[in-house]
Amino acid sequence: THRGPHTRFGVGAEDRVLALSSPSFDMSVYEFLGLTAAGGTVVLPEPERAKDPEHWAELLSAHRVTVWNSAPALLDMVVDHLDSTGARPLGDLRLALLGGDWIPVSLPDRARAIAPALRFVALGGATESSIHSTLYEVVKTDSRWTSIPYGRPMANQRTYILDELLQPVPPGVPGELFLAGIGLAREYLGRPEQTAERFF
């Protein structure tokens, strides 16, 4: 799934990402493997300041970071910091890839206020499906939204909304999200009971 952002958003050797995700969090895979596979650069925070949005803002500017990849709360924190300090816009930050949690509806516009060229992308999926399976680029928010849309399947991936009998539900009817496609794992290694429960 690293090829999806590369192809769709032109991620390449000139890009730099600020690595904020814990290595135990699946989103860190794109920071370290995805961006470097494209020839890009990974910017690491100082360990003692790794949770400090002021430090992140300094690194964004000093290293001319172009790609942000994190859970929404981290982008929200740096936007809050930059809003409160009246910092000048981040002209190099061009792409925000966010996933792993609910995205505040106000965040895309707030982020673009400090990074005017920013393309804001909501990603969804599960670790078992190569981390990202769905994508929604937020071009404009709608005041009626209560959440950012979950998105559509990425290339070579499929999504299904099924009921408790594993039958498709009609549009607008609640159900459970199931993922399929080339990125889906085959099993939990050495865990047949968990595999039987979660895969079919």
- Which amino acid does the sequence have at 21? S
Q: What is the pLDDT of residue 132?
A: 82
pTM: 0.90
CA distances (Å), origin 180, targets 21, 30, 110: 26, 20, 34
Q: Return phi, psi of residue 17, to 5°.
A: -120, 140
Question: What is each CA distance from 22 to 77, 78, 177, 194, in whole angstroms?
Answer: 16, 17, 26, 25
Tokens standing for 112? 């673009």
Three-class DSSP category at 21: coil
pLDDT at 175: 96
pLDDT in the model for residue 6? 73
How many residues are given for the chain? Answer: 200
pLDDT of residue 199: 87
Q: β-strand 95-98 against 67-70: which pairing, if any?
A: parallel
| Predicted pLDDT of residue 52 | 97
- Taking the chain (200 residues) in runs of 10, the rounded mean pLDDT of each run is 71 95 81 88 96 96 97 96 90 95 95 96 85 91 91 91 96 93 87 89
3-state secondary structure 52-84: CHHHHHHHHHHCCCCEEEECHHHHHHHHHHHHH
Please give the domain boundaries of the chain with CATH numbers for all domains.
3-155 (3.40.50.12780)
| Angstrom distance (rounded) from CA 100 to CA 135 | 12
